[in-house]
A and B are shown apart, each in its own frame.
Chain A
Amino acid sequence: MSAYDHVTAARANDRPTSVDYIKRLFGDSFFELHGDRRFADDKAVIGGIAELNGKPVTVIGLEKGRNLKERMARNFGSAHPEGYRKALRLMKQAEKFHRPVICFVDTSGAYCGIGAEERGQGQAIAENLMEMMTLKTPILSIFIGEGGSGGALALAVADEVWMLENAIYSVISPEGCASILWKDPSKTAEASECLKLTAQDLFKLGVIERIIREPKDLESRIFDSLKNLIADTFEKKAAIPAEKLIEMRYNRFRKF
């Protein structure tokens, strides 16, 4: 598979979204929480509390929507500042109640628009980066589709970052890169190669800890093994004192 094939697969409309993962991993135990308490409830970010093998976890996901109607409502998974602020509110809540945080990342990027700028898109992302770095509870981020730049990183300052086999994570979209580099947005395939955005490339660069096999369909047993893998990981992280955990997280990013 070429890098561009991964880009296409990561963006495919029939790909499971955060909602699917939440349903398969947590079933009916997921209780959704809404709003950032400051401005609004951003539907591009879904968040709540759930049970994972009997233990409470905070769940946050960037949600693209599974059909056109949903996609419109979810702004195609591109969050506004209130979405990132909702995510941070839920992370702080998780810290207070000593439960781990799991983030599902799937976004082409933070939204670029008038409202987003007026309400401080840059400030909202910056605050998440800062606060997540010292959050006193384990954080795991799983890239299930697209990981678009700062809008993805704002949910990925984590103790571990995992990626689905066909997920991508990049500083700029391949289209954006091609139009800057060659003034030709059609050279997306070449740009995809240059950016080193596939899970394999990112694993080699030390940006992610684990590559997850793609589920063939929503009934796939991969969800069960993923569930156990997450539970195991949280169990191991829970044994680490908070100060040590934060130091490890700092060093995880300090090395780049």
Chain B
Amino acid sequence: MPDFFNFLKPKNELENQGEFAENHPYIPEELWIKCPVCKNAILSSDLMENHKVCTKCGYHFRLSARQRVELTVDENSFAEMDADMMSTNKIGFPDYEKKLRNAKISSGENESVITGSCTICGEKAIIAVMNSKFMMGSMGTVTGEKITRAFEYATENRLPVIVFTVSGGARMQEGILSLMQMAKTSGAVKLHSDAGLLYITVLTDPTTGGVTASFAMEGDIILSEPKALIGFAGPRVIEQTIRQKLPKDFQSAEFLLDKGFIDAVVQRKDMKSTLAQLIRLHKENDEGGAAL
């Protein structure tokens, strides 16, 4: 005889606490996913179909770099560059090798960014996508190097660059060499810009620290996903510094839009067509002038 109570997980093991948890049998999380914002359970197939955007409240779940590429570029058009480049422990920081190993396992990637060429609705572009699953998208030497090479390649081949950012900032384990990546990437962005080429940044949740204070804020056009947290200092650091609570929605994409620091908040479902439209508007003809 089946034991009915086996269907109910003990309360403290349930992810979905509160009323929902008390009144409903346990449902495997592969089937249902709880939205961290509206707390509703969403059928995971519905969530996937909706580009991992909550069907109830519109919360944009975080995507891995590969998922992001898949949603953004034309099928089979992504040709990855520098895929095998890997970080080493250059300043001998304690346990960094272990951290890197774990990050590789948990993310399935070699670094916190993937770069490559692609087409978006037929338009050629260089794309760099950061990955929060690799050490919270922190910027190490290889992260900076891959982004720099992507820009240098784009400058040489006169292509637009699109960067999706997600980052906790500099990578402490690489010390000053991490900080130098801010200057290095900014230099590559500047040469690309001086060549008259288009750079679009798409800020995703969360983008902070050294990435915000370098290439994330250097786009000709800066877009963001709804509700993304964007800032220089993280909210906790600010609260500790000023010893007061921050207002709600402080450092949200909408807040930055209001303050004049980003151009538009774009829904995930509209991102690909928006990028394609912006690239088209900046397309060069054979003489190097605008195509229109």
Q: Which of B181, B217, B238, B246 contacts A256 (CB 8 A)?
A: B181
Q: Which residues of B contact A27 (CB under 8 A)?
A: none
Task: List the one stretch of B59-67, B105-113, B208-216 in contact with chain A.
Answer: B208-216
In the complex the two chains form, what is the Cα distance from A256 to B182 in whole Å? 10
* B217 contacts A254, C-beta separation under 8 Å: no
**A120, A122, A123: which has the most chain B beta carbons within 10 Å?**
A122
Q: Which of A118, A123, A133, A180 has the most B CB atoms < 10 Å from its CB?
A: A123
B190-213 interface (Cβ within 8 A of A):
190-191, 193-194, 209-210, 212-213
Q: Given A133-B190, A253-B184 in contact, is the A149-B217 Cβ separation under 8 Å?
A: no
Q: How far is the CB of A198 from chain B (nearest CB, A)?
A: 11
Q: A114-B246, A129-B186 are in contact. Are A171 and B231 (CB under 8 A)?
A: no
A113-B242, A117-B251, A133-B187 are known contacts. Are A126 and B216 too (CB-CB below 8 A)?
Answer: yes
Q: Which of A120, A180, A195 contacts B217 (CB 8 A)?
A: A120
Is A150 a contact partner of B176 (Cβ separation < 8 A)?
no
Interface of chain A, main secondary structure: helix
A-side contacts of B214, CB under 8 Å = 125-126, 129, 150
Task: Decide if A12 is an interface residue (CB 8 Å cutoff).
Answer: no
A114/B242 contact (C-beta < 8 A), A122-B212, A123-B217, A194-B93 known:
yes
B250 in the interface, Cβ–Cβ < 8 Å? yes
Whether A126 pairs with B187 at a CB distance below 8 angstroms is no
For B178, the closest partner residue in chain A by CB is: A171
Q: Are A149 and B175 in contact (CB under 8 A)?
A: no
Report which residue of B194, B233, B242 has the largest number of chain A beta carbons within 10 angstroms of its beta carbon: B233
Centre residue among B181, B194, B213 by max chain A CB count within 10 A: B213
**A133 near B172: Cβ-Cβ < 8 Å:** no
CA A170 to CA B180, docked complex, whole Å: 10
Q: Considering the complex, which residues of chain B in the window 158-179 have a beta carbon less than 8 Å from any beta carbon of chain A?
A: 170, 172, 174-179
Q: Tally A-B pairs: CB < 8 A.
A: 146
* CB-defined contacts of B237 to chain A, threshold 8 Å: 112
Distance of A207 Cα from B91 Cα, bound (Å): 13
In the complex, residue of chain A having the shortest beta-carbon distance to the beta carbon of B189: A130
Minimum Cβ distance to chain A for residue B26 (Å): 33
B141 contacts partner chain A, Cβ-Cβ < 8 Å: yes
Contact A121 B190 (CB under 8 A): no
Residues 112-141 of A, flagged 1 when their CB comes within 8 A of B and 0 if not, give: 111011111111011101110110000000
Q: For the complex, what is the distance from the CA of A202 to the CA of B194, rounded to whole Å? A: 31
Contact assessment for A171 and B184 in the assembled complex, using a CB-CB cutoff below 8 Å:
no
In the bound complex, what is the Cα–Cα distance between A206 and B144 (angstroms)?
17
Residue of B nearest to A157 (CB): B183
- Cβ A117 vs Cβ B233 within 8 A: yes
B218 within 8 A of A: yes
A150 touches B172 (CB 8 A): no
B172 touches A117 (CB 8 A): no
**A113 with B259: CB separation less than 8 A:** no
State A157–B91 Cα separation when bound (angstroms): 22
16 A-B residue pairs with CB within 8 Å: A113-B241, A113-B242, A122-B216, A122-B231, A125-B214, A150-B170, A150-B209, A171-B172, A171-B179, A171-B210, A172-B170, A181-B172, A194-B91, A195-B176, A197-B176, A250-B187
Which 3 A-B residue pairs are closest in the complex by CB-CB distance? A122-B212, A112-B233, A129-B186
